[in-house]
Structure 1
Amino acid sequence: MAIDNIFWIFFIFLFFYPQLMFKLKLIQRYNCIKKLEKERKTRVIAMIHRQETLALFGIPLYRFINMEDSEEVLRAIRMTSDDVPIDLILHTPGGLVLASEQIAMALKEHKAKTTVIIPHYAMSGGSLISLAVDEIIMDKNAVMGPVDPQIGQYPAASILNVIDTKYVDELEDETLILGDIAKKAINQVGEFVYWLLKDKMSEEKAKYITELISTGVWTHDYPLTINKLKDMGIKVNTNVPKTMYDLFDLYKQPTGQKPSVQYVPAPYGKIK
């Protein structure tokens, strides 16, 4: 066989192999979702934001909640009968407030039971979505986070704090505009969080939780552990189905780079 033919065969292989592997991974994910649905008798929706790899160049893509996500989740909910429970597997650093609120509203209005399962973390917009459901299931080491709005690269609460420490004539117009937007954003998110919580608990407790998580009491990446959430009055449990972990394993980080964590991928009992 001519050298140039071997080269072209090799080039075609390099082009199609990653795409075939990705298609195989998708099939494995769908099969795992079907297995989990059969076990729990629910509609399972997975919104897992881990790095994916572009088929040709191996470039990692960092994911977050966007409008495309909300469109797909809302479509899945519309396709689910009112008497069918929904499980949302959620792994996300957060994302757009509008997209997160749309998903939260759709879950809250679904007539059958809704559950969020958090294998590792659901921060910011992910936490907002989690507050909308009937049951929150978390891995014992998983965390949620505050939902205080961010204006550009700054927390809205911090912008207001800066404005409060200076005279108005010392501030630029842009800073004052940001302050106005920040105040509105905090009020809007607070109103939404309270709406999500008011039917689940007393008015006093709903206002207390809203104040804690939406007004910048903590930094935006502050980890709300299971114990912290329970202390706040949010009900959570750790009854994570094993099949959920099997599904989560199918969303591995890209392998085209040296891993920073390595171990023997097998269950261990007592080591003799």
Structure 2
Amino acid sequence: MNVGDLFWLFLIFGALQPAISQKLLEAARQRLIAALEAKRQSRVILLVHRQETMSWFGFPVMRYIDLEDSEEIIRAIHLTGPSIPLDLVLHTPGGLALAAAQIARAIRSRKSPVTVFVPHYAMSGGTLIALAADQIVMCEHSVLGPVDPQLGEWPAASVLKVLERKPASEIEDRTWILADQASKAISQVKELVREILHSHYPEDTVKEIADRLTEGYWTHDYPITYQKAKELGLRVSNEMPNEVLQLMALYPQPVRRHSGVEYLPFPYEKPAGRSAHSPGSIETA
């Protein structure tokens, strides 16, 4: 074998390596999903949106909940017997209201128990989906978010406040139209939240949660932590299965040129006293 042959082998391996790595990663996910399903005797579905990098230009593109996601999840639900519990892992910044509402209603109609796991965050439409579950499982630092409607770049609740603070003669026609749409949007989302919460919570709790999440009480990106979710009256638990966190590690963020986070990738569980160079322990003074 000469240098030319080695060069071509290197090129072929370099071209195939990303595809091989992706297949190995997918196989690892499938094995862990199967293990989690066997442990919980459930159907496990993941909705994971990572920031992706376009192959030619290299700038980041955020993924959101779209109609393709709702079609896939509803198809998976239809393939699941009515007596089998459903576990949905959510990691998403939100997305299209129609798609999130379809998923939430499909979950809401299940007769078997539905559990939503939020290992890191499920904002906006992701929160809407989580509300439809019988139980939401969060980590100590994972968050949900408000579901107040947004009209383009404007929060619907903020548009309505313009009508309260300015005389009618000083308000443009465009603002009146936006305000009309804002009022309808808030009413529709609030009705949807009440609908999906109705069978899980008392009526006064349903009203309190719906009002807080839809009327612009917080900014749209406000982080609703596990503790805040409990204060709202949501059925939340912090008993996150380790398999769910392991699954998230198999959805790596596209590699950036310079990472701002670095650490030794070993679990540190042993008490102090061993060498600081031994993985699995931290030596303290």
User: Residue by residue, what CA displacement relative to the aligned partner does 1:174-206 show, whole Å, maximum 9, x if unpaired?
Assistant: 222111111110000000001111222221111
Amino acid at match of 1:74: I
Q: Tell me what 2:258 maps to.
A: 258
Q: C-alpha separation between the residues in 2 aligned to 1:20 and 1:57? A: 23
| Cα pair 1:15 1:56 within 8 Å, conserved | no
Contact preservation (8 Å) 1:96, 1:125 = yes
Is the partner of 1:22 in helix, strand or coil? helix
Give the alignment of 1:32-111 within 5 angstroms.
32-53=32-53, 60-111=60-111
The alpha-carbon distance between structure 1 residues 167 and 57, as it changes in their structure 2 partners (threshold 3 A), is closer
- SS of match in other structure, 2:224: coil
How far did 1:229 drift? 1.1
| 1:198-243, Cα deviation, whole Å (9 max, x unpaired) | 2222211111111111110111111111111111111111111111
Name stretches of at least 5 consecutive residues in structure 1 with no aligned partner: none
**Partner in structure 2 of residue 246 of structure 1:** 246
SS at match of 2:267: coil
Which is bigger in relative contact order (C-alpha 8 A, separation at least 6)?
1
Q: Which residues in structure 2 correspond to 1:1-272 (within 5 Å)?
A: 1=2, 10-53=10-53, 60-269=60-269, 270=271, 271-272=282-283
| Aligned counterparts of 1:163 and 1:18: Cα–Cα separation in 2 | 55
Q: Distance in 2 between matches of 1:80 and 1:55?
A: 36
In the alignment, what sits opposite 2:274? none
Inter-partner Cα distance in structure 2 for 1:65 and 1:248: 18
More deviation, 221-230/159-168: 159-168
SS for the counterpart of 1:44 is strand
1:20 shift after superposition: 2.1
SS in 1 for 2:45: strand
Letter in 2 for 1:22: Q
Deviation string for 1:146-169 (max 9, x for gaps)?
110111011110111123222233
Letter in 1 for 2:38: K
CA contact (8 A) 1:66 1:96 kept: yes
Q: What is the aligned residue count?
A: 271
1: CA distance, partners of 2:19 / 2:55: 5
Structure 2 CA distance, aligned partners of 1:17 and 1:172?
58
**CA RMSD, 1 decimal:** 1.9
Q: Does structure 2 conserve the Cα–Cα contact (< 8 Å) formed by 1:36 and 1:243?
A: yes
Shift of 1:60: 4.1
Segment drifting more, 241-250 vs 6-15: 6-15
* Separation in 1, partners of 2:89, 2:13: 34
Residues 1:14 and 1:171: Cα distance change in structure 2 (over 3 Å)? farther
Partners of 1:51 and 1:17 lie apart in 2 by: 22
Cα distance between partner residues in 2 of 1:172 and 1:165 = 13
Q: List alignment gaps of at least 5 residues for structure 2.
A: 272-281
TM-score, length basis structure 2: 0.89
Amino acid of the residue matched to residue 158 of structure 1?
Answer: S
Q: Distance in 2 between matches of 1:23 and 1:55?
A: 18
- Cα distance in 1 for partners of 2:53, 2:220 equals 28
Distance 2:58 2:21 in 1: 13
2:275 alignment counterpart: none
TM-score (norm 1): 0.93
Distance in 2 between residues matched to 1:68 and 1:226, nearest whole Å: 29
| Residues 18, 56 of structure 1: 8 Å contact kept | no
- After TM superposition, which residue ranges in structure 1, 4 or more long, deviate above 3 angstroms? 5-15, 52-61
Which has the higher mean CA deviation after the structures are superposed, 172-181 or 25-34?
172-181
Alignment-mate amino acid for residue 87 of structure 1:
D
In structure 1, C-alpha distance between the alignment counterparts of 2:153 and 2:244, rounded to whole Å: 34
Q: Residue 51 of structure 1: CA displacement?
A: 2.5
Larger Rg: 2
For the residue of structure 2 that corresponds to 1:185, the secondary structure is helix
